[in-house]
Structure 1
Amino acid sequence: MLLKSISAFFLLLSCSLALHAQTNKKPEDNRFTKVVLAQRLEEPMQFQVLKDGRVIFAQRHGKLEVYDPVTGKVNLVAKFPVSTQYVSKTGEVSEGEDGLQGVILDPDFEKNHWIYVYYSPAGTEAKNVLERYVWHGKELLMDSKKVLLDVVVQREQCCHVGGGMLFDKDKNLFLSTGDNTFSRASDGFTPLDERPGKSGEDSQKGSSNTNDLRGKILRIHPEQDGTYSIPKGNLFPQGTPLTRPEIYTMGNRNPWRLTIDSKTGWLYWGEVGPDGSRDDMEKRGPQSYDEFNIAKKPGNYGWPYFIGNNKAYRDYNFDTKVSGEFFDPANTKNESPNNTGMKNLPAAIPAMVWYGKGISTEFPLLGSGSNSAVGGPIYRLGDFKDAKRPYPAYYEGKWFITDFARGWINVIELDENGEYKSMERFLPDIKLNGALDMKFGPEGDLYAIEYGNGYFKNNPEAELIRIEYNGGNRKPQVQASASKTAGATPLKVTLSSEGTRDFDEGDQLKYEWKVTRNGAAYKTFNQSTPALTLISPGTYKATLTVTDQTGAKNSKSLEIKAGNEPPKVNLAVLSGNKSFFFPGKSIKYAVSVNDAEDGSLLNKKISPSQVSVSANYLSEGFNLTDVAQKQISTDVTAQFAGAMAMINKSDCNICHAKETKSLGPAFVEIAKKYKGDVMAPSNLIKKIINGGSGVWGHTMMPAHPTMTENDAKTITSYILSMAYPPRSAKTLPAQGSFTTVVPEGENTDGSFIIRAAYTDRSANGIAGQMTEKVLVLRSPQLSVADAEQVKDVNFNGDKTIATTSATGSFLKFNNVDLTSVKQIEIIALRGRTPIPPQAKIEVRSGSPEGKLLGTFTVEANEQARIKTILSEATGIVDLYFIFSNAPIRIRQIRLSDME
């Protein structure tokens, strides 16, 4: 009996452990789905999710709105008259960060219907206010207003408002406030300008002032009558001279979204740093760092004397430009004439996580470029009882964070003492556009509000989203295609479900194709790959629905036009290299067009004038021509498609717009300023990579240390091109020759795009169909990243450098056209490990043992350009570069038609 009991116990224990291991396993990314709830919002700032799924959110220009999941609509709750501009002493008006900043519901909202807002009221009085109203679900009851708190500010210079709000379990309200300081006049370092009339540029008036509410996280307890009391345990006991008892943390610059761990009660937030991208320890101190912070108790977080993990600034006299000593985090004094509080301050607390513009050595997963730490929620499964879609236990106690500029979501794992353990990326394929708030809703979903790209404007990508987790059965992922999507009748078509998959292994899938003609039912197939013949002309729609064994289904449709055969267009190179261009050389080409209904160029039923043939040079290079091919035209869109793609992927459009001023100048204004300046391209490339300030006022240009010089050159060329009319593509005849002349001043590492297109006449009621043929002739160089096969070769992070690791290492490039190629040049780099003497590189065709075309000898341990003359190199071959006496570091391989 005892043996049975012990056996049963261990069986139960093993099952429990197995269940625990399963529930704590990291979930697959495909179990999460991004759902867009509302789009084209107007500068959204902060939100809260109600128990019934509604989402109330604040927009900077004063609108308080609510999203209703039942109707899918957004309705206006209230419109507050707000101040959003600053007026300098000289009368200059500028847009700033002020406005409607935050909204939160009372913990007892279901009973008292109280709602709190924090905003900058319109009028001459410079202040931000915390107010309470009654809201029963429609319009706000404006006559129910209770003013809880005024935060006195200055409205002569931007920036930093804060506005994050939350309640703890004791119903205390936390409110974050910014330092209300113009820091761009401080060269990216700390603003400590103590000169008369410069208090707006001295953060010591607020953040390090114990008697001021700015640059703080406040904690108060709202009372029934619209006043508030002070909870016990704030930073300064009530009645302490020269202090404000509302202060929970001080030494904040611009604390963003607050969160409290429901288990520990600890407070977390993101903290935005200044704009500097370089250290200047001789004069000023460290570069800028953004922070993610934790407060287990009240404290001083160091600004403006310290940043990051208590990296100290120097005392600096803005009048004499003389530097003083470094500040001491254990013994900090606020001796500014703008200070109205205590002189001696509490010891500074370092940040948990800190990161600058470049790659962080401590936290490399945070990336590089512009940064703006936002924060996010701590996940506790116990907060979501009876929720429909709670996140798995894998995320228990972890902190979800985001960054306004970089768009990622990362998850920080903490130990039981609240110390940093590790970090991982959450859903790498999702990039948020200017996230300003992120929190979990009552059903367990992660919500985020996205401000969009660019400051102080209504961005088209501004939206409210949620990311749902599906811990059970997942819908099939459907792909639908057809062997032909247009053609003359009778049109034989094979429909295909290739690519359809179900992430739940073992699910039996049922396929159903429904075909309609001009909207009416036509045929139905219960198979994955049916064949059909379309007899009558018309527009057909084929919809594939895939259902798994539980009934979960998903669909995808495609359109087929029967009755008009698309034309056949061919573009042939008659002489010269078919893969690369060599500057100044002529290329003979010929275009042929055949159309079943219209005839052909050959029988002259199609006129050459009806065929569009053009050539264009794209300075962006070969790797981006896949973008260009989709939008070839005669305007700047095609010429700079690659640059536009780079800008959209980077943080450029956060601070710049094409034609309107944002935080930084418009691209058009930059182009006008530097028109005709021969030094502008090189200077702007350096500025993009290294950062800078002073040209457009005090606004700092953040550094982009990981951007390659070629990418910066591509972006610069696009911006400077705006000072000139768009360059038209050269129109060509249907047959002739074309000389590859690179336009003056352009990057020679680009590509020539030759395009031939013909749109046929309509037939049988089906509109004309266009077919095009595009030929890409790229610059005669091979990037090591383009090697289709490698052996014993390692790459750096962005695959711009290949390092061989053993004799016999090789790089293989498929289908390289060697027509007219006489010479190959390799750029070898000096590395930490010396290049062995007499290291050799062989060029062979076909295989590693194939025909020897040339040999390189690396003579010295330094960067070197090594050349070899090719022997008997013709036609299209698979090209092998075989290395002996490793290691050798290779950056570039260039082909030449000259010996």
Structure 2
Amino acid sequence: GGSIEFDANGLLFLSTGDDTTPFESDNYNPIDERQDRPANVDAQKTSGNTNDLRGAIIRIKPEADGTYSIPEGNLFPPGTPNTRPEIYVMGNRNPYRISIDQHTGNLFWGEVGPDASVDSARRGPKGHDEINLATKAGFFGWPYFVGNNKPYWKYDFETQKSLFEFDPAAPVNTSPNTTGLEQLPPAQPALIWYPYDESEEFPMLGTGGRNAMAGPVYHREDYENSAVRFPGYYNDKLFIYDWMRNWIFTVSLTENFEYDTMERFMPSTVFDKPVDMQFAKDGSLYVLEYGTYWRAQNDDSGLYRIEFAPGNREPVAKANANQRTGAAPLEVNFSSEGSMDFDPEDQLTYSWDFGDGSSSNNTPNPSHTFEKPGIYPVTLTVTDMEGEKASSKLEIQVGNERPQVFIEWAGNSSFYFEDQPVQYSVQVVDREDGEIDSERIDFSIDYIAGGFDLIQAGHQEEQVSVGENFITQAGCKACHAIANESVGPTYQEVSAKYKGQSDAKDYLIGKIRNGGGGVWGGERIMPGHTHLPEEQVGQMVDFILALEDPDYGKVSWPLEGEFSPEQSDNPEGYYLVQASYTDQGANEIAPLRGNAQLLLRHPDMKAVAADRFENTAKANANGLNFVRFTQRNSWIAFDQIDLRGIRQVEVLVNPAGIEGRLEIRLGSPTGPRIGISEILRQGDQKGYFFEVIPLNKTEETADIYFVLKTDSGISIWNTFNLDRILFKR
């Protein structure tokens, strides 16, 4: 609570929280009516109480003498027994940020919901955050309902028995702690609602921590004389945002003010915990960002102004270099690729400052040799035809060449085969270090059950931490950081606390998946993450525990030997092979790390895991997740597949009413053909069947295309479906 707004008529709206602890009710609705309990465990005395201003949004008219009056249209007319006439909306848990549409008078607010991470058959739904809309006064459900009126149970905390589900059409408050009416108004559903895990109704909102907030509704006509107002595309759209998930969405409503659609606003921009937003008098949008960490002086906090530039727009500069480190003399090829101007008629001029006292260069893609060791700031400045400029900077370090790391892998470098051991060796060459100390080479082979961002082998300067990647993907960094204080303990603190404890891993896996609190003091509870696979959580815990104990869970792999993939019935799993070496630095240039990687996938791959698609659709039906080819010459492609030793592929297909062949081509949809199926059609077999396609012998690594060739008419009823592809030796 604590959000204040005035409407166009000068009426004051003020939101209040329910003043009830969420930590005494297992993260479900707090309705503990026992008389020997603390005063803050029953929200029926606050947000469910018609005679209390807590857990509500009040609406009053301030008067010139410092008093206030009650406007018409509030939830309870003045004089109604056991009610407060100031209440406009009740049944709120934490209406953290409210907004008034000055044109319609509609009230919007973000409701921060409870923390239960799973539905309970006898307690009620998991927690949801909400975006709410009130076109008139009403009761919005808490503590009896959440989301689109998902009902909680009447729960007897003394006997620990669930008695009945509350009815949103006729909710009642029979708590002995209330001072208000027993019969409450019908509960109003939320406009938008979403839990910790993926929302069935609004999957675009993502997963992880929640803190919903409602921003303004944009009306372009309010800024007629502005040169920076937003375009008409955003007219009448509601801006919503989430402090935990770092996004802003715009929501379109129907004429009846019901939900229609939503889309991400500035999807390529990460907003670092947006906490407030407002349109200025000129139609620009101000966004206040709290920054990454809780209770910290964040470098990435700030107040930002977003304008629409309909006239001449500022160009974009992007400086690139084929190498940024190396021994002297160092020749570097620079590129301005990615520099652009959004105005089609504009032409750019270029100016490069190499930072070494040499003359500037006015070509788009120059080469330059740095003769002496040192650190050189290089700046590219681009200028459009009207004089607008933009700059891009990068740093060139001369005097220390990055070590070269090689993984010599005797087997296929794209796939692992469970019955085929592979000989390998790791080699490191460093120009300045000379002889390499093998003890300083890091080498690992990790099995990943799935869900990890695929890393293009050989193009990462830093070694990838599987566990840290999972932590980032799961959104854990919204509440935790490695070293910086946040709402939860730092990972270094967790690592130190459990260092040396034999059961630490199992304990922390359970804590992360099931949630809990109290270990670190205070009342704040971590929600459960039951949607995360246990094996992923285990690798997250491995990363955390290794922060204070670098040898924790570390498997010692020899730099030369034989690797035998383990048997697994999980075709989504893969092996990440990594080697890295950090040199000792030279010529006052800091040490550099060299890295090599291989990503070995299971040879049985889902078609939907392809890297690129053309005229296809990803579909789900009958428990299958497959690719539907929607036109003749449709294709899917897998990038950089090592075909050494691959002699055939086996596909799981359903021609579904058409006849055709699958062609397998290299490099492009019209590149060299290395395989073609027999005519595929539905015969005696119905639905999906396997088909083996022989391949011409090839030993190269290339992009591989699966192209549909057919003369049949493809329609909604007649499509070609591809489920799996098995690469076979």
Contact between 2:655 and 2:681, CA under 8 Å: does it hold in 1? Answer: no
* 2:314 maps to which of 475, 489, 493: 475
* 2:598 maps to which of 742, 763, 776: 776
Q: 1:568 to 1:857 in 2, by over 3 A?
A: farther
| Structure 1 residues 380-403: Cα deviation after superposition (integer angstroms, max 9, x where no partner) | 335446556322232222210012
| Structure 1 residues 132-180: Cα deviation after superposition (integer angstroms, max 9, x where no partner) | xxxxxxxxxxxxxxxxxxxxxxxxxxxxxx1111222343332111111
- Letter of the structure 1 residue corresponding to residue 423 of structure 2: I
What is the match of residue 579 of structure 2?
A: 754
Hey, what's the Cα distance between the residues in 2 that align with 1:618 and 1:434? Answer: 34
1:217 shift after superposition: 0.7
* 1:607 maps to which of 419, 435, 445: 435
Q: 1:544 to 1:882 in 2, by over 3 A?
A: closer
Contact between 1:843 and 1:855, CA under 8 Å: does it hold in 2? Answer: no
Select between 542-551 and 622-631 the one with higher mean Cα deviation.
Answer: 622-631
* 1:427 maps to which of 255, 266, 276: 266
What is the match of residue 140 of structure 2?
A: 301
Q: 1:559 to 1:792 in 2, by over 3 A?
A: closer
What is the match of residue 143 of structure 1?
A: none
State whether structure 2 residue 94 is matched by structure 1 residue 254: yes
Contact between 2:18 and 2:46, CA under 8 Å: does it hold in 1? Answer: yes
* Residue pairs, 1:696-715, within 5 angstroms: 699=525, 701-702=527-528, 705=531, 714-715=539-540
Hey, what's the Cα distance between the residues in 2 that align with 1:793 and 1:273? Answer: 39
What is the match of residue 183 of structure 1?
A: 22
Hey, what's the Cα distance between the residues in 1 that align with 2:154 and 2:388? Answer: 65
* Residue pairs, 1:129-148, within 5 angstroms: none
1:549 shift after superposition: 1.5
SS in 2 for 1:524: coil
1:783 shift after superposition: 5.9
Hey, what's the Cα distance between the residues in 2 that align with 1:424 and 1:845? Answer: 37
SS in 2 for 1:498: coil
Q: 1:394 to 1:684 in 2, by over 3 A?
A: same
What is the match of residue 547 of structure 1?
A: 383
| Structure 1 residues 46-96: Cα deviation after superposition (integer angstroms, max 9, x where no partner) | xxxxxxxxxxxxxxxxxxxxxxxxxxxxxxxxxxxxxxxxxxxxxxxxxxx
Hey, what's the Cα distance between the residues in 2 that align with 1:365 and 1:861? Answer: 36
1:294 shift after superposition: 2.1
* 1:571 maps to which of 382, 385, 406: 406
* Residue pairs, 1:280-359, within 5 angstroms: 280=120, 283-359=122-198
Contact between 1:659 and 1:669, CA under 8 Å: does it hold in 2? Answer: no
| Structure 1 residues 723-766: Cα deviation after superposition (integer angstroms, max 9, x where no partner) | 96435685877xxx23337899999732111335656753xxx7
Hey, what's the Cα distance between the residues in 2 that align with 1:568 and 1:326? Answer: 66
1:270 shift after superposition: 1.3
| Structure 1 residues 528-565: Cα deviation after superposition (integer angstroms, max 9, x where no partner) | 23455666776554422211112111112344466x58
State whether structure 2 residue 284 is matched by structure 1 residue 449: no
Hey, what's the Cα distance between the residues in 1 that align with 2:74 and 2:614? Answer: 63
* Residue pairs, 1:88-127, within 5 angstroms: none
SS in 1 for 2:574: coil
SS in 1 for 2:393: strand
SS in 2 for 1:803: strand
* 2:561 maps to which of 728, 738, 742: 738
What is the match of residue 654 of structure 1?
A: 478
Hey, what's the Cα distance between the residues in 1 that align with 2:708 and 2:282? Answer: 59
Contact between 1:845 and 1:877, CA under 8 Å: does it hold in 2? Answer: no
Hey, what's the Cα distance between the residues in 2 that align with 1:360 and 1:748? Answer: 26
What is the match of residue 74 of structure 2?
A: 234
Q: 1:844 to 1:189 in 2, by over 3 A?
A: same
* Residue pairs, 1:820-859, within 5 angstroms: 850=674
What is the match of residue 53 of structure 2?
A: 213
Hey, what's the Cα distance between the residues in 2 that align with 1:894 and 1:527? Answer: 47
1:207 shift after superposition: 0.9
Hey, what's the Cα distance between the residues in 1 that align with 2:210 and 2:593? Answer: 45
What is the match of residue 413 of structure 1?
A: 252
SS in 2 for 1:336: coil
1:374 shift after superposition: 1.3
Q: 1:652 to 1:840 in 2, by over 3 A?
A: farther
Percent identity between the two aligned chains: 36
Q: 1:440 to 1:496 in 2, by over 3 A?
A: same
Hey, what's the Cα distance between the residues in 1 that align with 2:585 and 2:297? Answer: 42
- Structure 2: 5+ residue stretches without partners: 710-717
Q: TM-score, normalised by structure 2?
A: 0.78
Contact between 1:540 and 1:560, CA under 8 Å: does it hold in 2? Answer: yes
Contact between 2:421 and 2:565, CA under 8 Å: does it hold in 1? Answer: no
Q: 1:489 to 1:732 in 2, by over 3 A?
A: same
| Structure 1 residues 846-890: Cα deviation after superposition (integer angstroms, max 9, x where no partner) | 9785368999999998999x8989999673355677899986553
What is the match of residue 509 of structure 1?
A: 348
Q: 1:631 to 1:675 in 2, by over 3 A?
A: farther
- Letter of the structure 2 residue corresponding to residue 207 of structure 1: S
Q: 1:853 to 1:682 in 2, by over 3 A?
A: farther
SS in 1 for 2:286: strand
Q: 1:647 to 1:220 in 2, by over 3 A?
A: same
Q: TM-score, normalised by structure 1?
A: 0.65
Which one has the largest radius of gyration?
A: 1
- Letter of the structure 1 residue corresponding to residue 19 of structure 2: N
Hey, what's the Cα distance between the residues in 1 that align with 2:43 and 2:210? Answer: 21
SS in 2 for 1:204: helix
Select between 293-302 and 453-462 the one with higher mean Cα deviation.
Answer: 453-462
SS in 1 for 2:182: coil
| Structure 1 residues 668-693: Cα deviation after superposition (integer angstroms, max 9, x where no partner) | 759949965699499759x74xx666
What is the match of residue 373 of structure 1?
A: 212
Hey, what's the Cα distance between the residues in 2 that align with 1:210 and 1:610? Answer: 74
Contact between 2:608 and 2:723, CA under 8 Å: does it hold in 1? Answer: no
Contact between 2:674 and 2:696, CA under 8 Å: does it hold in 1? Answer: no
1:523 shift after superposition: 0.6
| Structure 1 residues 210-231: Cα deviation after superposition (integer angstroms, max 9, x where no partner) | 2211111122344566554444
* Residue pairs, 1:868-879, within 5 angstroms: 875-876=699-700
Q: 1:488 to 1:614 in 2, by over 3 A?
A: closer
Select between 548-557 and 695-704 the one with higher mean Cα deviation.
Answer: 695-704
| Structure 1 residues 433-483: Cα deviation after superposition (integer angstroms, max 9, x where no partner) | 333322223443322333455666666654443333322221111122345
SS in 1 for 2:3: strand
Select between 356-365 and 397-406 the one with higher mean Cα deviation.
Answer: 356-365
SS in 2 for 1:647: helix
- Letter of the structure 2 residue corresponding to residue 200 of structure 1: N
What is the match of residue 712 of structure 2?
A: none
- Structure 1: 5+ residue stretches without partners: 1-161
* 2:467 maps to which of 612, 622, 643: 643
CA RMSD, 1 decimal: 5.0
Q: 1:744 to 1:608 in 2, by over 3 A?
A: farther
Q: 1:415 to 1:787 in 2, by over 3 A?
A: closer
Q: How many residues align?
A: 699
* 1:524 maps to which of 346, 360, 363: 360
- Letter of the structure 2 residue corresponding to residue 524 of structure 1: S
Hey, what's the Cα distance between the residues in 1 that align with 2:566 and 2:480? Answer: 27
Hey, what's the Cα distance between the residues in 2 that align with 1:418 and 1:623? Answer: 40
